[in-house]
Amino acid sequence: MSERDDEKLSYGPEDIRGLDYGTDLGDPGRFPFTRGIHEDMYRGRLWTMRQFSGFGSAKDTNERYHFLLDRGQTGLSVAFDMPTIMGRDSDDPLAQGEVGRCGVAIDSVADMEQLFDGIPLAEVSTSMTINGPAGILLAFYIVAAERQGAGWKSVRGTIQNDILKEYIAQKSWLFPPEPSLRIITDILAFCTDKVPQWNTISISGYHIREAGSTAVQELAFTLADGFTYVEAGIAAGLDVDAFAPRLSFFFNAHNNLFEEVAKYRAARRIWARRMRDRYGAKDPRSWTMRFHTQTAGCSLTAQQPEVNIVRTAYQALAAVLGGTQSLHTNSMDETHALPTEKACQIALRTQQILAYESGVPDVVDPLAGSYYIESLTNEMERQAEEYFRRIEEIGGVIEGIEAGFFQKEIADAAYRYQKDIEAERNVVVGVNRFVDPDEKLEIAVLKIDPAVERDQIERLGKSKAKRDADAVQRSLAALAECARGEGNLMPPIVACARVGCTLGEIVDALREVFGTWREPQAL
């Protein structure tokens, strides 16, 4: 699976001939940031330990957040259930059986308030993995914050809001690409002005990799998505330095340790060069790539699940050696169900060992100058540039999506990966080698109470009954009116949130105007 030359036994000076320290690496915290975005890196501040979590009702998840914060977690990360991700209320017929199953169900501001009950939103930073309806969940969040007395200027966090990778990989979109990009540029403009500490897009390679891409594809497609957002922002009349500093990235940490480290280093260098040289950004904060990392869920095995703890630890090491700003470590049991408290705690402890026992954070970019790492970093960059050229030939990212280009590239890579495992060209411990023939599953598995769905629907019904029905209708009509015109969609969405409109109602109002999208079918 590695992108390196498989015949090569060792690397030497000839493999990095032409590498110029000043222009290709630079000191840590200096252009092109290959060595990291901070001069003092983890000596100044450790990465944020941010475990992605959510299940059942807002109340269930709130309890898990308190559990994680009590054990030393330093930021929150919300996992929503499928209906929320797809902009549907819990009582929608299409939500049947899915409420609270793979994340938490959030239907309105009332649920958001319960989710953060007892957690001061002026102090904690929150990442929300939400894309199609990102603007709506952001509106719920800032309204919940103001009801806690936290001003919009004080709230900190991230919405994923990366719709391009939804069309490419994760496949959770609500509207066609063009109106989706409009919503995103509206969010960029709104946050720059009103919620200045909010990270407006987390441009994500994670899902691209999980869908089966190679490391190079993850790198190239993610950065190409990033360029597209920057171009959309500029085309919408925004100053690049006004919004680019709030863009962040999200990468996968897969099994091949050195390849992953090289990927992060190459990503920083490519981004810095493009931002400065092509998009004319002048603010160094626009050049620096900040990123979150999650270990590779798709690398974990259902067989011998305890062994996943070890896989995750090596992957976390790659992320830290690569200079990540925040990290989620997967739990060992996630090939079976959502994680138990015990499994989450071990995952968090894995990061704490790296941070406090291993010595890895003591020195910035400790692998710099290694013939292998530098050569691999160059190679990742070269292959990514090759993809950028192909994407440009197709006409851009949206055209590539419409043509099914990315989807096919990823599906092909996923199938090759599976074939390689089955032919034992790739070893997966416990799956195709070192199999335990008498294995019995001995870990606990989290169960979601089937009553969650019923209770959530009841709660939704009650909160709908308490609303001012006229205000709801007026706000939804105003939103639809705005969608038909060219105004910024965020203020009317916030107005809808304040009077208790539900997620599904807001999405329906927008869908009336924007329509839906079906992807080109390709196997």
Partner 1 sequence: MVEGGDKIIRVLVAKPGLDGHDRGAKVIARAFRDAGMEVVYTGLHQTPEMITETAVQEDVDVVALSILSGAHMTIFPRVQTLLKEKNAHDILIIGGGIIPEEDMRQLESQGIGKLFGPGTSTGDAVAYIREWMKKRSGS
Residues that bind partner 1 (CB under 8 A): 82-83, 85-86, 88, 94-98, 101-102, 166, 170-172, 210-212, 298, 300-303, 334-338, 411, 414-415, 418, 421-422, 428, 430-432, 441, 445, 447-448, 450, 518-519, 521, 523
Q: Which is nearer to partner 1, 95 or 130 (CB)?
A: 95
When the beta carbons of 298 and 394 are compared against partner 1, the nearer one is 298
Residue 319 CB, shortest distance to partner 1, in Å, is: 22
> How does 18-39 read in b/e, with b if 16+ C-beta sit within 10 Å?
ebeeeebbbbbbbbbbbbbbbe
Beta strand spans in 9-84 (E):
48-49, 52-53, 76-78
Smallest separation, CB 428 to partner 1 (Å)? 7
Nearer to partner 1, 9 or 423 (CB): 423
Q: How far is the CB of 316 from partner 1 (least distance, A)?
A: 20
Q: Considering the complex, what minimum distance in angstroms separates the CB of residue 433 from partner 1?
A: 12
* Least distance from partner 1 to the Cβ atom of residue 248, Å: 23
Q: For residues 445 and 477, which CB has a smaller minimum distance to partner 1 in the complex?
A: 445
Cα separation, 260 vs 322, in Å, equals 8
Which of 99/346 has CB closer to partner 1?
99
Tell me which residue has tokens 């950028």: 388
3-state secondary structure 80-148: ECHHHHCCCCCCCHHHCCCCCCCCECCCCHHHHHHHCCCCCCCCCEEEECCCCCHHHHHHHHHHHHHHH
User: What's the maximum distance between 2 C-alpha atoms anywhere in the chain?
Assistant: 73
Q: Is the CB of 149 or the CB of 450 nearer to partner 1?
A: 450
204: closest CA among 174, 245, 246, 159? Answer: 159
Rounded least distance, CB 318 to partner 1, Å: 21
Distance, in Å, from the CA atom of 455 to the CA atom of 58, rounded to the nearest integer, reads 11
The residue (of 51 and 172) whose beta carbon lies closer to partner 1 is: 172
Task: Kindly give, in sequence order, each residue whose CB lies less than 8 Å from that of residue 493, ignoring residues fewer than 6 positions away.
Answer: 135, 136, 139, 479, 506
For the CB of residue 522, give the shortest distance to partner 1 in the complex, in Å. 9
Polymer length of the chain = 523
Is there a cis peptide before residue 520, judged by omega within 30 degrees of 0?
Answer: no
Cα gap 409→59, rounded to integer Å: 41
Please provide residue 125's backbone torsions phi and psi, each rounded to the nearest 5 degrees: -105, 140
Mind spelling out the 3-state secondary structure of 247-278?
Answer: EEEEEEECCCHHHHHHHHHHHHHHHHHHHHHH
- Least distance CB 434 / partner 1 (angstroms): 13
- SS3 labels along 442-456: CCCCCCCCCHHHHHH
Nearer to partner 1, 245 or 430 (CB): 430
CB of 106 to partner 1, least distance (A): 15
Residue 32 or 212 having the CB closest to partner 1: 212
